[in-house]
Amino acid sequence: MWVSLASALPLLVAVAAFPSKNREHKVKELVTPPPGWTIHAPAPSDHVLKLRIGLPQSNFAALEAHLYEISDPYHERYGAHLSKEDVEELVAPRPESTGAVTEWLASHGIREDDIGRSPAGDWLTLRIPVALVEKMLDTKYHVWTHMGRGESIVRTTSYSLPQSLHEHIELIQPTTLFGTFKKLKSTIHSINEVDAIVQPQDFSPPGLESAGVTVDASCNSTITITCLKEIYNAVGYTPTAKGNSIGITGYLGENANRADLQTFYEDQVPAAAAVNSTFEFISVAGGLDSQNASEAGGEANLDVQFAFGLSFPVPSTFFSTAGSPPFVPDIGTPEDTNEPYTDWLDFMLSHPSPPLAISTSYGDDEQTVPESFARRACAGFAQLGARGVSLMVSSGDGGVGDGNPDPATQQCITNDGRNRTRFIPGFPASCPFVTAVGGTVFFPEQAIDFSGGGFSNFFDRPRYQDDAVEDFLEKLPKGTYRGLFNRKGRAIPDVAAQSNFFRVFVGGRAFHIGGTSASSPAFTGFVALLNDGRLSKGLPPLGFLNPLLYSKAKSGFNDITVGNNPGCGTPGFNATKGWDAVTGLGTPDFGKLLELVT
């Protein structure tokens, strides 16, 4: 008898996970694997899992209230950021949760010295074999392989806990997380050596004067530090304040090459080249930063060159976090660590002085991340924001779709077992505690077609977005994309910046690189300059940006009204007057923003 894929999926999940027959256990989480993932084989019993157990944070609601007060430019507490200790006190689990979970672990032979605890005690980490994890969680792990990418991970689709522990454990991973945390470098506009780039034949460069801003004509085919400062009204500004800092996150074995940075500085920031400026490297969980020219990373080099080039001489740090899919199940690999994002969050939350502005150009389709995990990671971003850190994240390169390079063939199918067609937002851009950065191109600027945008299916729209997003939704023709997106969800992106033709040096050669992975570090560079302006006047750093951007600072953006972001077989959303789901509030006018924030 023929069985449809849709009807077979629930059966597949049941078979894959072997849901509990133990009456003392109750299912904690159950997911349908995202499209493309199939079972390769049972997980080896001696395969080691780095198990992370999240305990409920006792007073996160209070932390969130603090965050919104200190991020509201009209509140009397604006800028009164919390200390590391203040934050940890608010998110520490209740003693009864700590005790119950510790007792449960001990019943399985796990001693206290086998357990790693986060500074707040809200995360427990241990390394144990699959056989023991399967017994503890009353489940069955398999090696799953992605048919299109060939990546493999060890996962289950369901796990159970003793009923008495459900109130004391928020989530356990790796269990149901099928995301692979990809780089957000555009797959539509590929990386090209500069000499090989040819402009489309029908492209006629627009005029390069707009609203009193003059930009060199070359900026319509090559983006440099000079171009960005011209386009965004920052020519002549040099940071001078002490206490400032900027950071770039690196994952998936991406190496930031110092020799390439020097070549970039010689090409675009001669003042930095003159003093042989470089960045501090910090390894997270064993992350490396090879300086072999053949191993230089296009993503990492793009990020550090433009973020640090724009903000020079602000002290800069490149964080490399270990962990890179795919896991290769056939070579006896003892451990697969392909969730590096949580390792980075652990490290940053334990760091006494994290950089004040940080850019991330990596992410997943939101639906490949279990909601419990997404919410817990998002809570980590809130903790950093409460401590005065501004977090920027690329909005993604799939328009309203799933990142497929051909927006006309994106399937955009939900993985909730119902196989509905739906727009695919990205995570962590969908977290309301980060600033999601979309993309533009040319000057005068227009939205670039791959700019990730849309509405979260996990997170409700935060109140700071209400007015701007409601205006946008009211302008949509009635019934537009009905059922394809969540009108009440957190809207993406918040802002935008140039995102194509960035002149980047990789392995000693010049390339043009595009993607919102360029927009985020560029915008972050300007945030570091704004922090300099505040620090130089004795004011605290900006911290969590969004409440400021949507209120007092919204007049400091260039409104983008041309372009759209197709995906899922649709034209996507249109850039329009005011906020839109392609370019957000628009691109920064640094001069105006500096006046508004200082």
Measured distance CA(91)–CA(544) in Å, rounded: 18
128 marked as part of a ligand binding site: no
Q: Which of 161, 312, 139, 156 is nearest to 226 (CA)?
A: 312
323 marked as part of a ligand binding site: no
Helix H segments across 240-294? 258-268, 270-274
The answer for residues whose C-beta is within 8 angstroms of residue 190's C-beta and 6 or more apart is: none
560 marked as part of a ligand binding site: yes
Order of strands, edge to edge, in the sheet holding 426-427?
182-183, 362-365, 426-427
Measured distance CA(112)–CA(498) in Å, rounded: 50
Q: Is 299 a catalytic residue?
A: yes
H or E element in which residue 123 lies = strand 123-129
In sequence order, what are the beta bridge partners of 255? 296
Terminal CA-CA length for the chain: 70
The phi and psi torsions of 514 (rounded to 5 degrees) equal -130, 160
CA distances from 407 to 402, 423, 571, 584 (A): 9, 11, 9, 20
Q: Is 517 a catalytic residue?
A: yes
**Contact indicator for 470, 588 with CB cutoff of 8 Å:** no
Omega into 10 within 30° of 0, i.e. cis?
Answer: no
- CA 550 from chain center: how many Å? 20
Please pick, among 299, 339, 445, 494, the residue that the annotation labels catalytic: 299
CA distances from 24 to 105, 140, 173, 179 (A): 16, 17, 21, 30
**Contact indicator for 412, 418 with CB cutoff of 8 Å:** no
Please pick, among 29, 88, 303, 445, the residue that the annotation labels catalytic: 303
Tokens for 237? 């500004």
380 marked as part of a ligand binding site: no
Please pick, among 245, 311, 456, 517, the residue that the annotation labels catalytic: 517
DSSP for 178-206 reads ----EE---SSS--EEGGG----TT--PP
Name the residues annotated as catalytic. 299, 303, 517
| Positions at the binding site | 559-560, 578, 580
Residue ranges for the binding site for Ca(2+)?
559-560, 578, 580
